[in-house]
């Protein structure tokens, strides 16, 4: 039975019910459903998932989407356009009142969050596998965001998953491809489809938070930066705001044109995958600030001349300065939140500001309820994610604007800002080690074994210290009291160091083990590698990585 044909004008006869089989494994992970592109390209795969999302979301509107607005956009990767066409036809088939699709189909994750909030939309679908490579042999993904602009919380993703397991049909509006390259509106069946300018709402939001006049003068006075768009969705945003609005010289933005294959690279802003930018920032004529965003624009990396600002430190520095130096935060911060594995640098700032710090499981979805309740203003993750309550996603470009504002207001270099911060607060030396493509069964077994060992670990020697406490992180949301167990195993050492490990929830092949190492010191001139080396060796031994997986060294260190 079709949901409703009552009173719909015109061509709703073009809506058909199409049979589809349920696909196994359509359970959203840390950030939406992420799979190999070819998996998404199977006939019916996108259709089954998207219809399941709509089925799961029908209850809050009593089965009637006629007053609901759905927003659609993606990071421009291979299969973006095809998936958008499918979603458009299915959304019209489900009789949404309004569907807003970004011009050209390209919309960053933070811009999606901004659009949902500013247009009071019901929800949005983002086509992205984030920082994972794109292409027919690479990765694709679909994320659903709810009406607060944030990722669907776990009860919603679980409901979606339940629907994917028993879906057998979807609703499809039959017509030719819908043009999305020109701004405008057109009605299909009961749905008005609006192609909108993906830069407008996001730019407006940035002008509300930051002092564009001051930044214009800063660039006019000779300040120089380079922004690496990594051929993802923030390139056009950066060109528009930095070059067109703030008057930064042409060429400030590099790799600014979205490409389906991100020029064959990992669109991942870290020291490994943004190596060109890192080299440029180490050159004798390096600009004052270097920054990069991932494909869907929610991750960021910040560099100064010859300095790398770790994500945990970036969060701490932004929190330290926001109320004083950034207009949007003049009223002060209500609190800071960080994911559990993220370094404790922000905790020390929170203490100094006398505001609460919240520790959440990995994934941005856990920050949403804190921000909705007004408990925290800024939040961050060690995985190059920083953001605030201006939206409900991490926001790579916002982080860059924060750093720009801090440099502009203080007229200090990135290195000076960091030295001042560490001198005042001490420094958390931090590294994440990723072991990729591990056997999934063996990885799960390792976790089970470790969980069983936890009660006996306290008091055991570890690295140059001793284990003070060991547990499997369980999070209780302070607002809705929902409980998330198994959010990462952590070993807290007597000298204040921490080792955390967990399995990734975004991988598309086998298992990825993430090991997070943190060691605090009051001084800041040590070498990060040396500082955490013993922690790294000890955890490798405890987990018996060599025996289990025949692995010694991590694949990626960030």
DSSP letter assigned to residue 297: S
Residue 32 CB, nearest approach to Co ion (Å): 10
Only one of the segments 46-54, 225-233, 293-301, 473-481 lies at the binding site for ligand VG1 (rule: CB under 6 A); that segment is: 293-301
CB distance 225 to 305 below 8 Å: no
363 touches, from Co ion, ligand VG1, none (C-beta below 5 to 8 Å by class): ligand VG1
Question: For residues 240 and 299, which CB has a smaller minimum distance to ligand VG1 in the complex?
Answer: 299
Question: For residues 151 and 328, which CB has a smaller minimum distance to Co ion in the complex?
Answer: 151
Q: How far apart are CA 111 and CA 149, in angstroms?
A: 10
Task: Quickly tell me which residue has 């030295």 as its tokens.
Answer: 419
Burial class (CB in 10 A: 0-12, 13-18, 19+), 555: middle
- Residue in 37, 383, 386, 405 binding ligand VG1, rule: CB under 6 A: 383
CB distance 57 to 109 below 8 Å: no
- Taking residue 386's Cβ as centre, other Cβ atoms within 10 Å add up to 28
Only one of the segments 302-310, 377-385, 403-411, 459-467 lies at the binding site for ligand VG1 (rule: CB under 6 A); that segment is: 377-385
Residue 123 CB, nearest approach to ligand VG1 (Å): 17
3-state SS, residue 427:
strand
Buried b (16+ CB within 10 A) or exposed e, 406-421: bbbbeeebbeebbeeb
- 75 binding ligand VG1? (CB under 6 A): no
Four-residue CA torsion sign, 66, 68, 73, 78: negative
- 299 binding ligand VG1? (CB under 6 A): yes
Q: How far apart are CA 557 and CA 545, in angstroms?
A: 16
The angle at the Cα of 259, spanning 258 to 265, to the nearest 5 degrees, equals 110
Question: For residues 130 and 157, which CB has a smaller minimum distance to ligand VG1 in the complex?
Answer: 130
- 31 binding ligand VG1? (CB under 6 A): yes
Best CA proximity match to 82, nearest among 194, 187, 177: 177
- 30 binding ligand VG1? (CB under 6 A): yes
Residue 75 CB, nearest approach to Co ion (Å): 8
The angle at the Cα of 35, spanning 33 to 41, to the nearest 5 degrees, equals 105
Best CA proximity match to 296, nearest among 149, 369, 195, 397: 397
- 433 binding ligand VG1? (CB under 6 A): no
- 150 binding ligand VG1? (CB under 6 A): no
3-state SS, residue 468:
strand
Only one of the segments 162-170, 198-206, 381-389, 398-406 lies at the binding site for ligand VG1 (rule: CB under 6 A); that segment is: 381-389
- Residue in 130, 360, 405, 428 binding ligand VG1, rule: CB under 6 A: 130
Q: Residue 448 contacts by C-beta under 8 Å, 6 or more apart in sequence?
A: none
- Residue in 12, 139, 201, 298 binding Co ion, rule: CB under 5 A: 298
Question: For residues 211 and 395, which CB has a smaller minimum distance to Co ion in the complex?
Answer: 395
Residue 302 CB, nearest approach to ligand VG1 (Å): 16
- 514 binding ligand VG1? (CB under 6 A): yes
Choosing from 31, 52, 108, 130, the catalytic residue is 130
Only one of the segments 50-58, 228-236, 291-299, 437-445 lies at the binding site for ligand VG1 (rule: CB under 6 A); that segment is: 291-299
Alpha-carbon dihedral angle through residues 223, 228, 229, 231, given to the nearest 10 degrees? 140
Cα–Cα distance list, 461 to 140, 370, 457, 502, 521 (Å): 43, 37, 9, 21, 20
- 268 binding Co ion? (CB under 5 A): no
514 touches, from ligand VG1, Co ion, none (C-beta below 5 to 8 Å by class): ligand VG1
Best CA proximity match to 143, nearest among 121, 128, 162: 128
- 393 binding Co ion? (CB under 5 A): no
- 320 binding Co ion? (CB under 5 A): no
- 504 binding ligand VG1? (CB under 6 A): yes
Q: How far apart are CA 499 and CA 460, in angstroms?
A: 14
Cα–Cα distance list, 506 to 140, 362, 459 (Å): 11, 11, 34
Task: Quickly tell me which residue has 């006939």 as its tokens.
Answer: 43
Residue 502 CB, nearest approach to ligand VG1 (Å): 7
- 497 binding Co ion? (CB under 5 A): no
- Residue in 12, 75, 243, 296 binding Co ion, rule: CB under 5 A: 296
Backbone angles phi, psi at 145, to 5 degrees: -110, 145
Only one of the segments 19-27, 156-164, 378-386, 400-408 lies at the binding site for ligand VG1 (rule: CB under 6 A); that segment is: 378-386
Residue 298 CB, nearest approach to Co ion (Å): 4
- Residue in 12, 294, 381, 393 binding Co ion, rule: CB under 5 A: 294
Is 130 known to be catalytic? yes
Sheet of strand 336-339: strand arrangement: 357-360, 336-339, 378-381, 385-388
3-state SS, residue 378:
strand
Question: For residues 237 and 246, which CB has a smaller minimum distance to ligand VG1 in the complex?
Answer: 237
334 φψ region: left (φ > 0), alpha (ψ -120 to 50), beta (else): alpha
- 294 binding ligand VG1? (CB under 6 A): yes
55 touches, from Co ion, ligand VG1, none (C-beta below 5 to 8 Å by class): none
Only one of the segments 2-10, 248-256, 323-331, 360-368 lies at the binding site for ligand VG1 (rule: CB under 6 A); that segment is: 360-368
- 360 binding ligand VG1? (CB under 6 A): no
383 touches, from Co ion, ligand VG1, none (C-beta below 5 to 8 Å by class): ligand VG1
Q: Between residue 93 and residue 132, which ones bind Co ion under the rule CB under 5 A?
A: 130
Count the helix, strand and coil residues of the chain and give each as a percent rounded to the nearest 5.
35, 25, 40
Residue 110 CB, nearest approach to ligand VG1 (Å): 11
Only one of the segments 265-273, 298-306, 495-503, 514-522 lies at the binding site for Co ion (rule: CB under 5 A); that segment is: 298-306
- Summarize as ranges the residues that interact with ligand VG1 (CB under 6 A): 30-31, 130-131, 294, 298-299, 339, 362-364, 381, 383, 385, 504-506, 514
- Summarize as ranges the residues that interact with Co ion (CB under 5 A): 130, 294, 296, 298-299
Q: Which residues are catalytic?
A: 130
């Amino acid at each position: 039975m079709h949901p409703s044909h009552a009173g719909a004008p015109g061509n709703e006869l073009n809506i058909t019910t199409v049979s589809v089989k349920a696909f196994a494994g359509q359970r959203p992970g840390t950030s939406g459903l992420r799979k190999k592109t070819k998996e998404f390209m199977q006939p019916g795969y996108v259709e089954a998932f998207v219809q399941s999302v709509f089925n799961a979301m029908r209850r809050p509107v009593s089965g009637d989407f006629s007053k609901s607005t759905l927003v659609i956009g993606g990071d421009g990767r291979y299969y973006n356009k095809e998936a958008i066409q499918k979603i458009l036809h299915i959304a019209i088939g489900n009789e949404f009142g309004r569907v807003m699709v970004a011009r050209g189909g390209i919309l960053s994750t933070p811009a999606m969050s901004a659009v949902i909030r500013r247009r009071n939309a019901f929800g949005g679908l983002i086509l992205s596998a984030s920082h994972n490579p794109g292409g027919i042999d690479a990765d694709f993904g679909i994320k659903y965001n709810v009406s607060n602009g944030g990722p669907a919380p776990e009860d919603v993703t679980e409901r979606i998953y339940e629907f994917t397991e028993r879906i057998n049909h979807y609703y499809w509006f039959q017509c030719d491809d819908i043009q999305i390259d020109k701004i405008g509106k057109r009605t299909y069946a009961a749905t008005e489809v609006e192609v909108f300018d993906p830069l407008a709402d996001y730019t407006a939001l940035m002008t509300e938070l930051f002092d564009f006049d001051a930044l214009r003068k800063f660039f006019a006075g000779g300040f120089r930066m380079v922004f690496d768009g990594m051929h993802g969705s923030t390139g056009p945003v950066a060109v528009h705001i930095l070059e067109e609005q703030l008057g930064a010289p042409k060429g400030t933005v590099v790799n600014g044109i979205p490409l389906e294959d991100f020029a064959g690279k990992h669109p991942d802003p870290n020291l490994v995958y943004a190596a060109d930018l890192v080299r440029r920032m180490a050159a004798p004529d390096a600009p004052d600030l270097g920054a990069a965003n991932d494909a869907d624009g929610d991750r960021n990396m910040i560099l100064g001349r010859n300095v790398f600002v770790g994500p945990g430190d970036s969060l701490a520095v932004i929190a330290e300065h926001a109320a004083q130096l950034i207009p949007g935060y003049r009223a002060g911060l209500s609190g800071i939140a960080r994911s559990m594995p993220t370094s404790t640098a922000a905790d020390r700032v929170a203490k100094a500001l006398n505001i609460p710090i919240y520790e959440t499981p990995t994934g941005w979805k856990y920050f949403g309820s804190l921000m909705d309740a007004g408990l925290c203003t800024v939040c961050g993750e060690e995985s190059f994610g920083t953001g605030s309550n201006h939206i409900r996603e991490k926001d790579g470009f916002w982080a860059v604007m924060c750093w720009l504002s801090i440099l502009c207001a203080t007229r200090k270099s990135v290195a000076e800002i960091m030295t001042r911060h560490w001198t005042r607060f001490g420094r958390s030396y931090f590294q994440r080690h990723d072991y990729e493509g591990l056997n999934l069964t063996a990885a799960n077994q390792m976790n089970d074994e470790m969980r069983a060992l936890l009660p006996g670990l306290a008091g055991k020697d570890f690295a140059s210290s001793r284990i003070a406490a060991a547990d499997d992180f369980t999070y209780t949301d302070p607002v809705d009291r929902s409980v998330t167990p198994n959010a990462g195993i952590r070993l807290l050492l007597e000298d204040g160091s921490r080792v955390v490990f967990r399995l990734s929830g975004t991988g598309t092949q086998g298992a990825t083990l993430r090991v997070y190492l943190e060691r605090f010191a009051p001084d800041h001139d040590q070498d990060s590698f040396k500082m955490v080396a013993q922690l790294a060796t000890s955890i490798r031994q405890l987990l018996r990585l060599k025996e289990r997986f025949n692995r010694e060294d991590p694949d990626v260190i960030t």
